[in-house]
Amino acid sequence: MKSSAFAALVLVASSLTSTSLLAADAAQGNAEAARNKTSMCIGCHGIPGYKASFPTVYSVPMISGQSPKYIENALMAYKKGERSHPTMRGIAASLSDQDMADLAAYYGGNASTAAAATK
Amino acid sequence: MNSSTLFAGRLMGALLSATAFSPFVSAHAADLSGAKEKAEQVCAACHGKEGNAPVDPSYPRLAGQHQDYLRQALLDYRSDSRKNAIMGAQAKALTKKEVGDLAAYYASMPGQLVVRK
């Protein structure tokens, strides 16, 4: 109860500000909720050795085990155009702040939590 | 196709896959000890020891990440096609050789990054 009251407070506080950074902080990631949102990710990030071929050829980054907040910020940056990869821009544009937080919680974390989450 | 052309083909394929997509990295042998020094002096302040312990959750782990991805990220920061105030400044201070060396160094560090569906 206390935590939901706090979440509500945070939501109110963030709605009073116009910065997306604060709004992003309000979205609590739920790894379970991400399970039906990963279909867009696995075609590239789920294939060992996969390389993106456009516009430049290089390996797609490993995202599992990455810092969750970094993942969320990266998706945000694609959506805002601060990162330019066309495929990722298209995908990020389709994601809500909550989707991004959920995906960050799903893929991010440390090795032990990632291993536990795959069960 | 006889066995020697088959072998040559495979060798060619192996060489190509190792080098074709990272022309800069292949242009010189990576200077891992130089990169280690640079990494400890500069990068570790945020990304932690060996790129494994970022001091803030918004900073990425680098250890074990794909070499060509790390290189591309630094080059993108360098050219401002990837916009980040901190990394833009850091990457612009690096030569292309240092970018390649640092990418090789961090890719060679053991880390927790994995491919997962």
Q: What is the pLDDT of residues A10-58, one digit of tens each?
A: 444 444 444 444 444 558 999 999 999 999 999 999 999 999 888 889 9
Q: What are φ and ψ of residue B78, in 5° steps?
A: -60, -35
- Tell whether B82 is covered by a domain: yes
Q: For residue B25, give both structure tokens.
A: 């990295």
Q: What are φ and ψ of residue A113, in 5° steps?
A: -70, -35
Cα-to-chain-centroid distance, residue A80: 14
For residue A83, what is the nearest residue in chain B, using CA coordinates?
A: B82
Q: Is B113 exposed, middle or buried (0-12, 13-18, 19+ CB in 10 A)?
A: buried
Rg for chain B (alpha carbons), in Å?
16
Closest-CA distance of chain B to residue A4, Å: 23
All residues of chain B having their beta carbon less than 8 Å from the beta carbon of residue A38 are 117
Nearest-10 Cα torsion for A63, A106, A114, B63: 20
Number of structural domains found in chain B: 1
Query: Chain A contact for B113, CB < 8 A?
Result: yes
Residue B54 and residue B47: Cα distance in Å, rounded? 4
The residue of B58, B78, B81 whose CB has the most chain A CBs within 10 angstroms, and thus the best one to mutate to test that interface, is B58
Q: Measured at the alpha carbon of residue B61, what is the angle toward residues B41 and B74, in degrees to the nearest 5?
A: 65
CB contact under 8 A, B22 and A58: yes
- Tell whether B37 is covered by a domain: yes
Domains annotated for chain A, with CATH where assigned, are: 2-117 (1.10.760.10)
- Tell whether B113 is covered by a domain: no
A45, A111, A117, B4, B59 from B103: Cα distances, Å: 19, 22, 29, 35, 16
- Tell whether B34 is covered by a domain: yes
Closest-CA distance of chain A to residue B83, Å: 5
- Tell whether B9 is covered by a domain: no
Residue A61 and residue A73: Cα distance in Å, rounded? 15
A37, A75, B8, B11 from A103: Cα distances, Å: 7, 9, 44, 40
**Spatial CA neighbour of B33 closest among B87, B97, B102, B99:** B102
- The enclosing domain of B64 has a CATH number of 1.10.760.10
Q: What are φ and ψ of residue A51, in 5° steps?
A: -115, 135
User: Is residue A1 very low, low, confident or very high in pLDDT (cuts 50, 70, 90)?
Assistant: very low
Closest-CA distance of chain B to residue A12, Å: 24
Q: Which of A84, A111, A118 sits opposite B112 (nearest CB)?
A: A111
- Tell whether B13 is covered by a domain: no
pLDDT value of residue A5: 59
For residue A38, what is the nearest residue in chain B, using CA coordinates?
A: B117
Q: Look up the domain containing B58 and give its range.
A: 22-108
- Tens-digit pLDDT profile for residues B20-61: 444 444 456 889 999 999 999 999 999 999 999 999 999 999
Q: How many residues does chain B have?
A: 117
- Tell whether B94 is covered by a domain: yes
47-66 in B: which are within 8 Å (CB) of A? 54, 56-61, 64-66
Q: Which of B56, B61, B83 sits opposite A66 (nearest CB)?
A: B61
pLDDT above 60: residue B8: no
CB contact under 8 A, A73 and B65: no
CB contact under 8 A, A65 and B113: yes
- Tell whether B11 is covered by a domain: no
Which percentage of chain A shows pLDDT scores above 70? 70
Closest-CA distance of chain A to residue B2, Å: 30
